[in-house]
Amino acid sequence: MLIDKAAQILRAGGLVALPTETVYGLGADASNELAVRRIFSVKQRPASHPLIVHLAAAEQLDAWARDVSPLARKWAAAFWPGPLTLVLKRTELATDTVTGGYDTVALRVPRHPLALELLRAFKGGIAAPSANRFGRVSPTTASHVHSELGEEVELILDGGPCEVGVESTIVDVSNDMPLLLRPGGITVAQLEQTGGVTVATAEEQEGAHAPGRLASHYAPRAGLKLAGRGQLFAEAEALAKTGAKVAVLTADASVEVPGCTRIAIPSEAAALAKVLYAALRRIDDGGFDVAVIEPPDEHGLGLAVRDRLMKAAAPRA
């Protein structure tokens, strides 16, 4: 069976691309130093960006983390399996390479059935960042993974298009005060409601230790421009006048922008999250120089979509 084969590859120190509900991951045995190093080299990812370790069930939490607070347990119980990553004090199981040498480890139980099947068959933790080159658009289908890393992974498990479409929410619960390190598939409102606490963002917290947060990330090769409220069509038209091949990402089919091509996207944030990365890939595949989009407001999954769009549009190093 394919899952047994995938588990064998992981045991032998190989790489398996796997579907999760957020994006496709590039998986390796989280306890195998050499295997984890291969993830970094295939992705060309700097060592300072620690990896998320995926587990089959919340019962494995205490094998990987210590000093787990009641709040962390409450969130794990409420949102696992699901798109929530908890940063906790680590045990010896995670390698230094996985944790970037930090005293913490990032843990998550994904809810895609194939990911869970593989985790159960493998039994250990699977370190799995998104299956793309560092800084680029995350893959949300098996064919995205294939075109990005096809030659460099032993096996790609095809689980269809990802259900959530953007990465997990990351909360640091290794200290008394929970800190949002990355908005994602679980909303701040869900966390606050379930936890009975206020969740601050790492930006609000001066000196917060939050590795791996860069201005530019998730970037298509083409340029991306974020339009101000109500400015989408004016901005697109201005860009087209410079002679650029412009794509306008919008749910509004009523307006024709001279010299621009419309790429249809949903207006509702969760639906947009699901197709966001595929839309960014279409900009590159269509040979556009630049795409213009008006980011959604911060409500619900809108916060995560805005975060990804701002990073995708940021000046590149």
Residues that bind ligand AMP (CB under 6 A): 49-52, 87, 99, 102, 104-106, 129-130, 167, 170, 181-182, 211-213
Beta strands in 35-74 (DSSP E): 52-54, 65-66
Tokens 């119980």 correspond to what residue?
77
Helix (H) or strand (E) holding 224: strand 223-226
Smallest distance, ligand AMP to C-beta of residue 196, A: 24
Nearer to ligand AMP, 22 or 187 (CB): 22
What distance in Å separates the CA atoms of residue 312 and residue 302, rounded to the nearest whole number? 15
| DSSP code at position 170 | E
Q: Are the C-beta atoms of residues 110 and 21 closer than 8 Å to each other?
A: yes
Please say which residue, 181 or 290, places its beta carbon nearer to ligand AMP.
Answer: 181
Residue with Cβ nearer ligand AMP (99 or 141): 99
Closest residue (Cβ) to Mg ion? 130
Give me the least distance between CB of 298 and ligand AMP, in Å please.
Answer: 20
Q: Could you say which residues in the range 107-136 bind Mg ion, by CB under 5 A?
A: 130
Q: Which amino acid is residue 263, in one-letter code?
A: I
- Shortest distance in whole angstroms from residue 94 CB to Mg ion: 18
Total interface residues for Mg ion by CB under 5 A:
1
Q: What residue ranges in 12-158 does DSSP mark as E strands?
A: 16-18, 25-29, 52-54, 65-66, 84-90, 104-108, 126-127, 155-156
Residue nearest to ligand AMP (CB): 212
22 binds Mg ion (CB under 5 A): no
Task: Supply the minimum distance, in Å, between the C-beta of residue 270 and ligand AMP.
Answer: 19
